[in-house]
Structure 1
Amino acid sequence: MSYRGRGRGGFHNSFGGGVGGGTNQQNNNRANFGHHSQQQQIDAFTNSNQFPVEIMGWSGASSSECINFISRKCKVVVQNYSVDSNTGILKGYVKNEQQANLLLNWSGVKFAGQSLRFIKGTSNQASTTTSSSSTIETITQFLKTRYNPEIKMLNLSNVKQDPALNTHGFFSSVSITAKFFPALFKVANDLSLEVISIDLSNNELSELNQLVSLPQSFPKLQNLSFQNNQFNRIKVFETWKNKLNNLRELIIFDNPIVININTPQDINNLKLEFMKLFPRLVVLNGEILRDEPKLNMNLTFPFDSNSMFFENDDSRNLATNFLANFFKLWDSNRGDLMILYQNESQFSMQVDTSHPYLIDSNNSTDFGNYLSNSRNLTRVSGMNSRMNKLAIGQEAIFKSFQQLPKTQHELINKPNLFSVECYKFPSNNLNGLIITIHGIFEEIGQPELEQSNNNIPSGPRSRYIPQNKHKRHPLSKKCFDRTFTVIPDLQGSMIVASDLLLIRPYTSENAWEKSKEQPNITTQPQPVNTPSPAQQANIPSIENLPLEIKNNLSPMNQEILVKILIETKLTIQYALMLCEQSNWNYQLCMDNFKNSVASLPREAFV
């Protein structure tokens, strides 16, 4: 099996007829700073061809030999040179007038048996502004001849052999050549060319340094050809990882990366690596890699539930695609999610254990994998603790992800278990979205990293709060709420600015179903059931406290103990233990109870 050869369908057919693709529309708004950076590439190109000079007395050798001599001897680079056929004068450009004056000082230097003479150009050459306009105009005309609007294809094959570009010196030096593609992408952006196919074959490319801005310039790109270039490492393409999210077909024939493959195993590894880099890649060198309809289904979240709210169709498409891809990676490889987070991104997790199911039923949900890093602001009052539990930046966020159990979300198979709401937040420039999803997940594995217990309050060892940090906590189903604040980036992908995860005990799978029609409820006043004398005797009160306990407590502590008994439904032994370990501080008693209620035995309750 080999990748060598041509005519296997796919790319060429796609270029001929234009691939339909069936992908969702991306948000095409782009930040101004991206365009500004590309404009600098054009300005840099123009400034390199700015000031005209004329050279006479060079005819004893070739023009290129004369230019090389000037570079070595005078330390001035003359670019975009040409010979005037009428006068025989060698004309070219230097960067600025200072370099032109420097050349004037070298007039009389000997070359090939003759004396060179330099003068400032007097021809009607372009000034800085005119030169810039000329550069843009040249690239614009080039694009018009290379763009096919019917099939939305841009042919950038073998650009160095284009006569018009060579006449204007676009490839006269390595530094100028490096600026060509960024300048071209900038002009293409300004022309609003809709491109789904690009041919970059025969351009002697070995790196993507010149093509860094391609994904943001052509976010809808589906077909790309790099045939007959010099790529020899798969690592080169990692620059574009998760950036060309619509790329369907890739051609890399006649590159060392393919030519040097010797075994079927190497071929399979190459396929797998490209599929990891480009999530929608279906065809590689004319060979179909995977089932496209099934792939599209897996990358789309089929929201069928009625419990959904989207501000408009655009927000629906962005939110559903984001959530489908996010939770697929969350359940399989959380490291791949880091591309969505930036240095300023934030993540925090909190646990809500104060659910009636925990007290009023036999539910035995264990939150041990979450409690130590829970950032529930109603229970974590210390500023240092609050900040320590907030993950900022990719490294801290990934570490927090690794401290959470491995999970499985049935988004595709059971969309009725989830509810989503999505709306834009007020900002004229960012076009950001707030996406909130509620639902159920199942824990399927222990965390990759052992959670830190640094956030447990310091003090004497408590028998009430679990201390065994090496305990493997049982896995179970749980409910969750997760709120993302996301911003579309220049490539049409998402940047997660804020990620808030709330973990709750599992209740049922009927949360989002429409409730059955209820019978009419009478508004007649209902009789008040007065507790019997026996029931009244069981209600905690100071009078009901055992005498040996009352004798050892102050009146204030007796009141606190009674309030704890009523609020927590603990037995008097466990309530007394809780109060002692909380220094008889009512608020601290309630905080410690909520943090440890999931780990208490059943006999701790009345």
Structure 2
Amino acid sequence: MPVTTATRRHQGNRGGIAKRTRDMRTDRDGDMLMGTAPRGRPQAARGGRGALQPTRPPPAPGMSDSRRGGHNSSFKKEQLLSALRQGSIRAGGTERNGPAQSGNIKITGWTKSEAYASSDGGLGALISWLERRVNISIKKRNAPRKTAPPRTFKLAPNKYHVEGDALIISAMGSDVGDLLHLNNFEFSGVKIKVEEIPKESEQDSSAGNQTRQMLKDFLHRRYDPSAKLLNLSAIGQDQEILNTGMFATASTQSKFIPALMKVCDGIFKSAEEKKDTVQSITLANNALDSLVAVKEVAPTFPDLLNLDLSNNQFPSLDSLSGWKTKFKHLDQLIVSGNPLEQNNADYAADLAGWFPTLRVLNGIQIRTEEQIAKKQKAIIPIFGANFKDISGIGESFIKTFFPAFDSDRNGLVRHCYDPQSTFSLAVNPGAPRDPAQQGFKQLQTWDRYIKQSRNLKKITHLNPRMNRLLTGSDDITKFWQSLPLTRHPNLESETEKWLIECQSVPSIPDPSGNSPQGVDGLIITVHGEYEELDGPAGQARIKRSFDRSFILGPGGLNGIRVVSDMLTVRSYGGCAAFTPTDTNTGTNQPVTETTMEAPQQALPTLTNEQTQMLTELARQTGMNIQYSKECLEQSQWNFQAALETFAAVQPNLGPEAFAQ
């Protein structure tokens, strides 16, 4: 990656690209303390988000911090190049050739699990699962001895890290064997692979340590804490890097930035610390014509505010497409001095579309703060609930159901469910969370739910799908007893925490057999939240959101029976989406007083499975029941085919298809 020099400076409270300062604090291990101002010198004040400005190039080649002893000069080129070629640069500072009883464990396969959809990628759930399984092994091993209570296995944050799709754990003693024993065990729906990483030879380990230290020194020289800037410009002209021979071949050049990013991952203890420490990066003057050599910058610093790509050789926007939408909070971008300016006349408009928060491009303001805020607001208006009840049946059911679910589930099943009633549970760990609420920071675990989850996006085979559809009051009662205790908000005093809709639905099976072509029923959809309670004391443990759909028909002890009950549990997402954009635009309509009778033009009787498909298709597409039924019939009652049919004909559908 040949390179020249140029940096940009940005002075503002969000950090910017600016010139470097040479003073830097280090810890007792010699690692830099990034983001900390040197003692005895006041930290530069940071004002508003100003434009990026040019600064002087990096200091003269060959200079290094006197406090670090200038040990770059003592590196052996052969060892450095060997370490870089072999990829033995690790994210942390852990030695890979530790004591004989230690070992590094590599775990793969967990990124394909259901837990991976959660906000932390399932890492928290995997760590908890590993600790639990290893502690079970320790307890069994110590049981016959009748000695003091066995130790507890706990993974400290500095003992593991993620490399791509693999979790790397540094373990000691018998813990190595206990972890390896978990190979091919099932975690969150998938089998994981657990293997030990072969130890490096002493020579390889020494070379890896020297290379890692050299990269840390490079970061130390190139980081400006006052501007929160990581200066990666003109790397090929850095004399200390050239002295190592790292830029002698294209192969070692291409591995420099990925290795540097791994070291960065090891320096920061959390994503929040990384976000606060590095707000600007310059990659100017590196003769880059693609993102191949620097692509790891995006996943390493996803919250970057300012990025300088000036004076490179990017030929077109296609060469930057790998970073399209990657930086979710990018405020300023510089691409001047690249051929793409001449080759893409509309590059500015395209880049503005790639990065919705981009405010300044090449030093020119293209959006105001107000325009960005307005663009981030929901463009689809939120309407009020559409509740079309029949003789007050729906309202009465809802007011009875949720208090009973919290206090007397067995009695609720006896009164509202029968041998033909169905119930299913789906876990959606990837649903958006509400960052304004405390529940956003809570670790979401799904142990009490996941084994019976019928999330059709995850459970794709017919047999598991059918096995997780509970039929009959006995099976429903048994499963409900395994669920955590709950407390739902009060329906009358906390109405803002609920969104409830009700519609009539035809052709519900008549359990009495008096109407073979079916009777009218209700479909009720409820969106809300609840608290999980910790034991009989009623202490709230965690808050979750839920979606629940009921199909009601005649029957049961009180004249109403639940034909179908589908519950989706998800991470807490708040209730802001329940508030209409304009209270005058709600679709509430007067209640139509009717009775549950067979329709004059009765539709053919539907099975429970067909009724569920009909309900779900209407919910996902917004079509009314009649059109949803016709769509399913044309698709031979294949749900996926019905969705594809709807997508194909949607542009041609008139408003009558969506009229309720």
TM over 0.5: no
TM-score (ref. length: structure 1): 0.38
